[in-house]
């Protein structure tokens, strides 16, 4: 509906500063009242923040903005003698310019956190339901008093112009948990579609051996507990943060579909190093961590972004972003026009991390999915529907506890990436399952699994992996490492 809404000033308890832990501070960072004064044509000295560690940024110096004394407000009359009209918030008595001190003064500190008391009462035409929520002098809440009513009116307009049954995707402020949302004002056929990004990577455009739980830090988490090292812990970090958003949505909304409406990361991070060297290892690691977290939480998502016009130099040609995991810069020049079929994969920067096996259709309740992009090992687990779903499964997979309808088929269909399908056609793929039969169709890139046990609550499992070479079946990954070290020493 609305892309990444924001409360703006609504609900702010003070006009002297933005919350450092919620609003990004980078570059010149005027306070709300300083912003009002700047817009009114006053030169203002404001703090400047630069990237830092361990926190995202820190104050380094001050700078004077708007030394030209330009006003953002339209002139009140035409001609050379036109004077800027007054700032709307100054006209409301929220602030005033102190001529003696040459700085703005806040007159109504909590102006945006409560509804004003008007001498003549509420304006005509306001609905009675809104008036109940918006009592004069009462606390103002962004969602309850503004965003939810707006969503309700928007969906009524859309419904009047479209056919019944359309799903309505609505998101909240990015990376925040779902707030209270009364049933009577939710859109029909709602799909909750929050956005999630690793704000530390987004802010610094850098990814290395460590990640931060920014979500936890924003809520006061002790810093050492928010630090994760290595790829495995990065996956755990992302799994936790995305899982928190999904669980909070189900806690507030109940049996409502949840789709991560947008997630991804900048391909030009670490100073665009990968564009110069051709080594996208950092991007591969982060994409694998992100995709793994989404899979572990069993949540649908939109991966931002696929841009068929992307190049390393121009990026996505939008807002200075370069998020596309496809780029013409990765294509052979001979294929930049007219590429077809598998040739198009050449433009995919992170093909092995983006294209992954997954269940297109499941004859039951999905419980768990794990995929190792390095080894090609895939694990999928689902259960037969039962009248009462187990609490354990619900907690593990962040799914609602209500019993779903009974299934009408025993066939589960799994997509195979081309490289796994090719391995299968050469007899190099091993597929094992808890029960039933499996059929692989390499041309359609599909695994068709027909389970046998139909008892309520029975848990089915399937594993897909590359076949180990003869004589190596019993060797565990740890001993592979030991053997590699020994061979390296012998060669040296």
Please give the positions annotated as active site.
4, 262
Q: Rounded to a whole number, what is the largest CA-CA distance in the chain?
A: 92
The β-bridge relationship of strands 446-450 and 437-441 is: antiparallel
Cα(289)–Cα(170) distance, rounded to whole angstroms?
26
Say what the alpha-carbon torsion angle 5, 6, 8, 11 is, to the nearest 10 degrees: 120
Cα(322)–Cα(304) distance, rounded to whole angstroms?
10
Q: Extract the tokens encoding 479.
A: 């001993």
Is the dihedral angle over the CA atoms 244, 247, 250, 252 positive or is it negative?
Answer: negative
CB-based contacts of 191: which residues, under 8 Å, 6+ apart?
A: 167, 168, 169, 170, 256, 257, 258, 259
DSSP annotation of 332 reads -
* Residue 192: Cβ within 10 Å count: 24
Cα(347)–Cα(247) distance, rounded to whole angstroms?
36
Q: Extract the tokens encoding 106.
A: 């806040």
Q: Extract the tokens encoding 193.
A: 């579609």
Q: Extract the tokens encoding 213.
A: 């739980």
Say what the alpha-carbon torsion angle 239, 240, 245, 248 is, to the nearest 10 degrees: 130
Burial of 272 (0-12, 13-18, 19+ CB in 10 A): middle
Specify which residues 459 forms β-bridges with: 383
Contact (Cβ atoms closer than 8 angstroms) between residue 239 and residue 263: no
* Residue 326: Cβ within 10 Å count: 23
- Which of 11, 42, 45, 37 shows the shortest CA–CA distance to 90? 37
- Which of 147, 173, 170 shows the shortest CA–CA distance to 23? 173
Give per-residue burial for 409-429: e unless 16+ CB within 10 Å, then b: ebebbbbbbeebbebbeeeeb
């Amino acid at each position: 509906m609305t892309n990444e809404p924001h409360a703006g000033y609504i609900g702010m308890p003070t006009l002297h500063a933005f919350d450092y832990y919620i609003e990004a501070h980078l570059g010149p960072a005027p306070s709300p009242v300083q912003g009002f004064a700047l817009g009114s044509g006053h030169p203002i000295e404001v703090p400047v923040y630069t990237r830092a560690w361990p926190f995202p940024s820190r104050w380094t110096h001050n700078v004077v903005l708007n030394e030209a004394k330009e006003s953002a407000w339209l002139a009140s009359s035409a001609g050379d003698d036109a004077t800027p009209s007054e700032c709307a918030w100054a006209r409301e008595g929220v602030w005033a310019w102190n001529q003696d001190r040459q700085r703005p003064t806040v007159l109504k500190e909590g102006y945006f956190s409560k509804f004003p008391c008007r001498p003549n009462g509420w304006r005509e035409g306001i609905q009675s339901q809104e008036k109940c929520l918006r009592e004069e002098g009462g606390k103002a809440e962004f969602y309850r008093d503004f965003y939810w009513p707006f969503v309700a009116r928007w969906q009524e307009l859309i419904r009047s112009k479209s056919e019944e049954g359309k799903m309505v995707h609505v998101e909240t402020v990015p990376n925040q948990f779902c707030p209270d949302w009364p049933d009577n004002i939710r859109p029909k056929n709602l799909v909750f579609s929050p956005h999630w990004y690793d704000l530390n990577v987004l802010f610094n455009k850098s990814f290395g051996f460590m990640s931060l739980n920014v979500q936890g830090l924003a809520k006061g988490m002790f810093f050492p507990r928010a630090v994760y090292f290595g790829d495995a812990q990065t996956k755990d970090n992302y799994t936790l943060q995305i899982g928190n958003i999904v669980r909070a949505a189900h806690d507030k909304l109940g049996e409502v579909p949840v789709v991560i409406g947008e997630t991804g990361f900048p391909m030009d991070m670490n100073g665009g190093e990968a564009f110069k060297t051709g080594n996208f290892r950092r991007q591969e690691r982060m994409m694998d961590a992100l995709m793994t977290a989404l899979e572990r939480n069993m949540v649908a998502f939109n991966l931002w972004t696929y841009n068929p016009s992307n190049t390393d130099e121009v990026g996505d040609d939008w807002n200075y972003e370069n998020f596309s995991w496809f780029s013409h810069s990765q294509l052979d020049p001979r294929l930049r026009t007219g590429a077809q079929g598998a040739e198009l994969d050449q433009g995919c920067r992170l093909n092995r991390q983006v294209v992954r096996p997954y269940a297109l259709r499941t004859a039951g309740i999905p419980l768990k999915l794990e995929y190792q992009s390095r080894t090609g090992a895939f694990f999928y687990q689902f259960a037969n529907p039962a009248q009462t779903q187990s609490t354990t499964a619900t907690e593990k997979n962040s799914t609602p506890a209500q019993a779903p309808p009974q299934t009408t088929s025993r066939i589960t269909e799994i997509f195979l990436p081309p490289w796994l399908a090719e391995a299968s056609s050469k007899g190099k793929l091993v597929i094992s399952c808890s029960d039933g039969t499996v059929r692989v169709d390499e041309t359609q890139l599909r695994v068709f699994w027909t389970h046998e046990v139909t008892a309520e609550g029975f848990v089915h499992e399937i594993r897909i992996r590359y076949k180990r070479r003869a004589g190596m079946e019993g060797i565990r990954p740890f001993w592979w490492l030991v053997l590699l070290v020994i061979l390296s020493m012998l060669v040296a």
